[in-house]
Chains A and B, each alone.
Chain A
Amino acid sequence: DAKTTQPPSMDCAEGRAANLPCNHSTISGNEYVYWYRQIHSQGPQYIIHGLKNNETNEMASLIITEDRKSSTLILPHATLRDTAVYYCIVRVPDAGGTSYGKLTFGQGTILTVHP
Chain B
Amino acid sequence: DAGVIQSPRHEVTEMGQEVTLRCKPISGHDYLFWYRQTMMRGLELLIYFNNNVPIDDSGMPEDRFSAKMPNASFSTLKIQPSEPRDSAVYFCASSPPWGNIQYFGAGTRLSVL
What residues make up the interface of A, taking CB atoms closer than 8 Å to B?
32, 34, 38, 42-46, 49, 87, 93-95, 98, 100-107
What residues make up the interface of B, taking CB atoms closer than 8 Å to A?
4, 31, 33, 42-45, 48, 50, 55-56, 91, 93, 95, 97-98, 100-107
Distance (Å) between the CB of B93 and the closest chain A CB? 7
CB < 8 Å neighbour of A102 from B56, B97, B103: B56
From DSSP, what is the main secondary structure of chain B's interface residues?
Answer: strand
Q: Cβ of B107 and Cβ of A43 under 8 Å apart?
A: yes
Q: Cβ of B42 and Cβ of A107 under 8 Å apart?
A: yes
Q: Cβ of B45 and Cβ of A101 under 8 Å apart?
A: yes
Give the complex CA separation of A93 and B95 in angstroms: 12
**Closest B-chain residue to A49, C-beta based?**
B100
Give the complex CA separation of A111 and B102 in angstroms: 22
